[in-house]
Amino acid sequence: MSIWRPGLTVEQLNAPHMGGSMAWRLGMRFIEVGPDYLRATLPVNELTRQPAGILHGGANVVLAETIGSVASGVLAGHEGDRHVGLEVNANHLRAVTDGEVTATVRPLHTGRRTQVWDIRIEDSAGRITCVSRLTVLTVGPRQGE
């Protein structure tokens, strides 16, 4: 049984609404919808590296906050709701210099007004490079709905 709205697909997650976002411009793409998780990738390149040549910690946070916020928006029972981040933290555990990283988001708490998400970011070899937690507040219907 899936925790997401019925029929959710990777194509929907990568739909035009993502096109203008920071994460999309940096190259983030959703790659998998699981029963209780979403997965997305981010390239490690000239747009996402810091001057020292490693993945910028801020890029990890953009990836984590985006995948967690999207997860809140596609959670079953939250269709049409607007969600805002309350708190995000990240522990950067391993440097990444090239390739891509993959983030997996899973729920820790999915209440009616708040959601807490666990995000694990791994390098191409499957090693955890960053762990993050995002707390999201449901603030009501999206504007115009």
Given 65, 79, 87, 122, the catalytic residue: 65
Residues 20-52 pLDDT 10s: 789 899 999 999 999 999 999 999 999 999 999
Domain limits at 86?
10-141
Does residue 65 carry a catalytic annotation?
yes
Which pLDDT score, from 0 to 100, does residue 142 have?
Answer: 63
Low-confidence ranges of the chain (pLDDT < 50): none
Which pLDDT score, from 0 to 100, does residue 80 have?
Answer: 84
Neighbours of 79 (CB within 10 A): 12
Which pLDDT score, from 0 to 100, does residue 101 have?
Answer: 98
- Tell me, yes or no, whether 79 lies in a domain: yes
- Tell me, yes or no, whether 20 lies in a domain: yes
Which pLDDT score, from 0 to 100, does residue 17 have?
Answer: 61
Closest CA to 5 of 83, 63, 71: 71
- Tell me, yes or no, whether 63 lies in a domain: yes
Say whether 144 sits in a helix, a strand or coil: coil
- Tell me, yes or no, whether 5 lies in a domain: no
Domain count, the chain: 1
